[in-house]
Structure 1
Amino acid sequence: MVDLLQNEKRYLSQLLEAVQRCSYFLHESSSKLEWPLSGDSLWQRRKDAELFETLAAINERFAKLQDTLASTMRHCALLMSENTDNFLKVLVYFEKRGVVPSVELWQQGRMARNMAAHDYETDYSLIAEHFNVLSELTPMLLVTAGHLVEICNNELKLSAEPGDFNDEFATLLRDIECWEK
């Protein structure tokens, strides 16, 4: 007989690994640049493929991390017997638990992520502004990831599977904590 609960727990462990991996790569890509960006500097480097590949990676990795966190929060809530029929309820639950700093901040991140997916801006000042917003919101996603991993470890006794990014994830969370102080 298939143990459905074990399958769900294994899936959450895999999602936690994905959260750690996404966090690590977003942090690594973001650390390649000096923030904040300016429209003038982007215009001057408008043919710098390495710069724009890094920016594309940040866009992709920010979106991927936020999507993966959303899936992980929903699945975690499900295993905690919380209402998951509406993601706003899931967000409110995790805001109350201190995992998400605020529903509003999460939604700002979602709006910034969606704008990047649908807007094809040519004004370098607006491009810089977009990436500066992502840079400002990235610590929120990373801290959310840390709190979510912690709640899964402490309350569900689940950790990332296979755990390849545990050390790097712990290091980047320490870096974020030092940076926020």
Structure 2
Amino acid sequence: MSQDILDRQQHHLAQLLEAIQRCAWFLHQSEVRVAWPLEAAWLEAHKKDIDLFETLAAINERFAKLQDSLASAMRHSALLAGEPSDNFLKVLAFFEKQGIIDSTADWQRCRAIRNMAAHEYATNYSEIAEHFNLLHELSHILFHTARRLLALIIDWLQISPSSQDFSEEFERIFD
């Protein structure tokens, strides 16, 4: 019975790893469709460009999903490794010590910008440009966190993504 529980927990983590690869790849693919950095005047001139604003909406959503998937995988892998996982700040501190995240402050910056996107609806094109430029800048933190976390979990817990469907594409993000 306890082995079944462990198997389910390991399988769940493997699915989270696949979700991380998928989220990272789709975020990256959306980002390459945009000419960075965005400028307010350019956004205003293209304010009715459906493809552009659908891409920007996808970037918002995929950034949030990637960070959420990373957080779930960090918490879950800490639990499987017997590390404290009751408080997410403890989880972040543990993964900072492991070199998975560069700093808790960087993670919190990513979280703050992600939460702003979910709760604020800017109509000022300068604010919109600033928001998306910051998302783009911070997405690199999430990409590198994803890569290091996957490597650690594979090495540490011998758990790989549940499928290899996005493994090759995930690695191409770093080429």
1:15 aligns with 2:24: no
TM-fit CA distance, 1:90: 0.2
Consecutive unaligned residues of structure 2, counting only runs of 5 or more, are none
CA RMSD of aligned residues (A): 0.8
TM-fit CA distance, 1:40: 0.4
Match of 1:92 in 2: 93
TM-score by length of 1: 0.94
Match of 2:29 in 1: 28
2:10 maps to amino acid: K
Match of 1:178 in 2: none
The alignment of Structure 1 onto Structure 2 pairs a total of residues equal to 174
2:9 maps to amino acid: E
CA distance in 1, matches of 2:71, 2:101: 11
SS at structure 2 position matched to 1:168: helix
**Mapping for residues 135-174 of structure 1, pairs under 5 Å:** 135-172=136-173, 174=174
Match of 1:38 in 2: 39
Match of 2:78 in 1: 77
CA distance in 1, matches of 2:154, 2:70: 15
Match of 2:55 in 1: 54
Identity of aligned residues (%): 54
1:118 maps to amino acid: H
Match of 1:125 in 2: 126
TM-fit CA distance, 1:170: 1.2
SS at structure 2 position matched to 1:21: helix
* 4+ residue segments displaced more than 2 Å: none
TM-score by length of 2: 0.98
